[in-house]
Chain A
Amino acid sequence: MTVVVTGLGAVSCFGSGTAALWDGLLRADRRPVPAPDACGLSTRPYLYAAPDPGPVLPDAAASGGEPAGRTSALVAAAVAEAVGDAGLTAEDLRDAGLTVGTSLGDIDLAETREASDRHLATHRVAAVLAGRFGIGGPSQTLSTACSAGAYAVGWGAELIETGQADTVIACGGDAFSRVAIGTLQRFGLVDPECCRPFDADRAGMVTGEGAAAVVLESAESARHRGAAARAALAGHGWSCDAHHPMAPEPSGEQLCRSAVRALAGATEAPGAVVLHRAGVAGNDSVESAAVGRAVAAVGGGAAEVAGYAPKAVMGHTAGAAGVFGCVIAALILRHGVVPPNAHVATLDPDCPLRVPLGEPAPLTRPSVLVSGTGFGGNNAVLAWRAVG
């Protein structure tokens, strides 16, 4: 069974909407801003901040009286765009599935100014969304750390492939967390300047806020509704390093295995790879080497495949990152170009992939791989191809 994408949605540091996202990626000049004064940290770490998404409406009915936090509001905005883009009606959503990738959920509810105001119901994002949109089918929240979004899309496809839903809203989101920033700083994982994944002198990640959504559908369902397919899922693979709670396994064997599985049906190497690459040098090297081996195994050299790292201009959006990767893959397929990689003074000499710099590069073959990795060695890779 073929699973296609019929709707896209995004809220990022570039503002609301996939048009703003694509424009920002092409401009390739966005840098992070200091976190708000009220963040509760003595330093003001850099952040690729999203605009205020406004409240989730209608809030009372949506969450059974529980407050919805910033992540829920961001994801609701992305889902609203994707549902509108796909032309789904309330009737269509009644049996639709919902898969949400989020690392910390509505963590702002637990990071209040006064400790007595803390609210621990941080992982009700799926309930808030399902209530807001009347999505009545299978509904899961996946928290596989930074690959949560990639798993949300993959699990959404599994629900369709096994007949548990015809349509699935797969989405992801995460917002500013002072504890997340604090712990990343404590581990020396934060670049004090900006996120520069392809620069040889990169010094860590920079967090970003945002949410992204895709409407997944069986090709038959899309045809039946007369909805245009934006991209088709050619394959997806999962694996776990089972190595260390935070660091990737150095050989990248398991990540490579999931990429090989995603590419199992491919007859040629993809035109581009949207990498997880976040500016953490060791992780970046493991990923590009593993993905490079997998695409080379399909045919042709890895150097013929464009590597793209969107986190340079939008930060690491955690649970949203994998869904953003899929949205960006669909946009690359639609426009036929790969945005230029940003913030590169000295190019990382170790990346086996071609690294577009300066201006958009033509997409040479109509398929794009999306790679997601996370703490715990949780790997998920998805292969998308153009439709028609």
Chain B
Amino acid sequence: MTVLITAAGAVAEEPRPAEGDGTGAAAWFDPAAHLGRRGWKYLSPATRYLLAAGNQALGRRHDEPPLTGAPAERFGVVTGTQYAIAGVHRRMDDTLATTGVQGISPAEVPAFSMNTPGSQLAISTGARAFSVTLTNPVTAGLEAVQFAVTALRTGRADRVVAAAADQVPAGDDGRDRYDAAAAVVLSRDPAPVSGEGVGVLAGITGGISRFVPRGADGDRDPAALAASCGRVAALAGGARNVRLVVSGPAAAAEFGGAVRDAVVESLAEAGGSVRDPAGAVSRARHCAVSGLLELIALARTGGTGLVVSVSESGHLTAIALDAPVQSEFH
């Protein structure tokens, strides 16, 4: 079974000067332009971004009624995020320390749950198959795609929005990182993949998630690294001119480079090749959304591609697009 990416949507803050203090951080996004004039006041920024990207991918207006009946029960949402609650948690903790429990606004309480952006998207669109939120730092966005593909394979839904949203926290934790949300619509299709088919951006031919532990010396275990990257390369099935994108935050630059080198080597051993084997690791500036943004860019480029999202903790998730092999999941 092949899974098709039928549409995509994204809203992303572009890198801003480093001296910015973050106070005007949301100026890049106008909620009214995406969500209309009412109904979003009490939604967190990450939720607003997610609704905007999700609606864009689904080609719907925010005020359209949600799905109902059987189509709703066959439609799911899976969302990756790492900072969905960071801002509101900080604000509430400060409120507790100063004015106490009574100072907390009930309207803001739902924002204090990692699943609320995804749940609001599910409510808005009528997704009743499932609404799952994944929260591994950095890789959660691409994990959402892997989760959606698996759920489509096991028949838990016929159509899934795989999405990610993050609002960068204030202060040092947010340095050189930016707000964003992205979404892809995935559906099952037993027909052969055609990248030129009407309404199809790309086919997903495989995906994998791994963790590379550190050895006793504190470095990534080389055997585990080689084994995991071998599995990533196998997703491309020895294809030539594979577009390989490895995306990771600054703190994972070394790990990302090692992953890239190992995937290139494994592909070569299988008779395949990478289009730009000396390419740099792409900087993941949009937190857990980064990998999904790379996937969308690659899907729009066409051809055989591999997107690998890596975190400084050692997680990696890879998704293969349009590879000339049958679907494989390891």
Residues of A within 8 A of B (CB): 40-43, 60-64, 66, 94, 98, 102-105, 107, 110-111, 115, 118, 120-124, 126-127, 130-131, 134-145, 151, 155, 158-159, 161-164, 178-180, 182-183, 185-187, 238-246, 254, 257, 374-378
Contact = CB atoms under 8 A, between A and B. Distances in A.
Given A61-B216, A110-B93, A127 B313 contact: yes
Given A61-B214, A164-B150, A180-B112, 14 more contacts: A66-B313, A105-B135, A122-B86, A136-B224, A136-B227, A141-B134, A141-B136, A158-B154, A163-B329, A179-B96, A182-B101, A239-B130, A245-B123, A375-B119
Nearest to B93: A179
Given A110-B93, A123-B137, A375-B113, A98 B224 contact: no
8 contacts: A118-B90, A124-B136, A141-B135, A145-B115, A155-B132, A376-B119, A376-B123, A378-B132
Given A182-B96, A376-B122, A131 B213 contact: yes
B314 A64 contact: yes
A141 to B, nearest CB: 5
Contacts, number: 225
B118 A376 contact: yes
A158 B148 CA distance: 12
Given A139-B211, A240-B129, A375 B116 contact: yes
Interface in B138-162: 140, 143, 146-147, 150-151, 153-154, 156
B115 A374 contact: yes
B102 interface: yes
Interface in B83-127: 83, 85-86, 89-90, 92-94, 96-97, 100-102, 104, 106, 109-110, 112-116, 118-120, 122-123, 125-127
B131 A134 contact: no
Q: Which of B77, B110, B132, B218 has the most CB of A within 10 A?
A: B132
Given A127-B313, A182-B104, A243-B123, A151 B118 contact: no
A123 B136 contact: yes
Contacts of A141: 134-136, 140
Secondary structure call for the A interface: loop
Given A158-B150, A158-B151, A183 B92 contact: yes
Closest 7 CB pairs of A and B: A376-B119, A127-B313, A143-B114, A245-B110, A138-B209, A130-B211, A240-B131
Contacts of B240: none
Contacts of A180: 112
A180 B96 CA distance: 11
B58 interface: no
Contact of B314 (A127, A178, A179): A127
B226 to A, nearest CB: 12
Interface residues of B, number: 77
Contact of A123 (B82, B120, B210): B82
Contact of A115 (B94, B122, B136): B94
> Which of A115, A143, A161, A374 gathers the greatest number of chain B CB atoms within 10 Å?
A143
A67 B187 CA distance: 40
A52 B147 CA distance: 34
B319 interface: no
Contacts of A61: 213-216, 218
B90 A378 contact: no
A376 B116 contact: yes
B188 interface: no
B173 interface: yes
Contacts of B146: 138
A162 B154 contact: yes
Nearest to A380: B130
B214 A64 contact: yes
Contacts of A124: 136-137, 313
B148 to A, nearest CB: 12
A240 B127 contact: yes
B133 interface: yes
B13 interface: no
Given A105-B135, A142-B134, A144-B133, A187 B123 contact: no
B176 interface: no
A360 to B, nearest CB: 35
A243 B215 CA distance: 47
